[in-house]
C-alpha cells in the first residue's frame, strides 16, 4: 500500500530539504495507515499482543524538497521466527512522470506479549495473521 505525504516547510532543515529525522515520521505514518487499513494492529491486539519496532535501516537516495508529493510504500516482506520486517520505499515524481526513489528502509519488528512484555515466537494464529496481511499486500 502507498500513502501520500506533501512536504511542508516544517519538514525542512537549514539546507532546505527534508531533515533526515522526518523520514522516520513519514515511514511511521505509512505503517500506521497500513495497520489501520488492513486491520492488522487490531487483529494482533485481539490476540493480546503488540508490535514493537526493534531496528530501522534507512538509505537516503535523493533530497525531498518543499511541496514535493511523496509516495510512501509499505509491505511486510519477511516473517521470521521471532521478528518480521516491513519494506518501505519513498518515491516522488522525477518531473517526467516517472517515480524516483528518495529513500528506502527496512523496519524490523517483533510481537510482544502485553502481559509479560517479552517477544513471542511467530507461530500459530499469530503467524497466520502476519502471513494473511503479507499475502493481501503482495497480491
- Largest Cα–Cα distance in the chain? 52
Q: Can 13 be counted among the known catalytic residues?
A: yes
Residue 65 has pLDDT above 80, yes or no: yes
- pLDDT for res 55: 98
Q: How confident is the model at residue 137 (pLDDT cuts 50, 70, 90)?
A: low
Round the average pLDDT of the chain to a whole number and report it: 94
pTM here is 0.91
Which domain covers residue 51, as residue numbers? 2-138
Sign of CA dihedral 109, 115, 117, 119: negative
Say which CATH number the domain at 99 has: 3.10.129.10
Number of domains in the chain: 1
Give the C-alpha separation, 23 to 68, whole Å.
13
Amino acid at each position: 500500500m502507498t500513502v501520500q505525504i506533501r512536504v511542508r516547510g516544517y519538514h525542512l532543515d537549514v539546507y532546505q530539504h527534508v531533515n533526515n529525522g522526518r523520514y522516520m515520521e513519514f515511514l511511521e505514518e505509512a505503517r500506521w495507515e497500513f495497520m489501520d487499513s488492513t486491520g492488522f494492529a487490531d487483529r494482533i491486539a485481539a490476540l493480546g499482543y503488540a508490535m514493537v519496532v526493534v531496528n530501522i535501516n534507512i538509505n537516503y537516495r535523493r533530497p525531498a524538497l518543499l511541496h514535493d508529493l511523496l509516495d510512501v510504500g509499505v509491505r511486510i516482506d519477511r516473517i521470521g521466527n521471532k521478528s518480521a520486517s516491513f519494506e518501505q520505499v519513498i518515491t516522488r515524481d522525477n518531473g517526467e512522470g516517472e517515480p524516483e526513489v528518495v529513500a528506502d528502509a527496512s523496519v524490523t519488528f517483533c510481537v510482544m506479549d502485553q502481559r509479560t512484555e517479552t517477544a513471542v515466537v511467530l507461530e500459530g494464529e499469530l503467524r497466520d495473521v502476519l502471513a494473511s496481511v503479507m499475502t493481501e499486500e503482495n497480491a
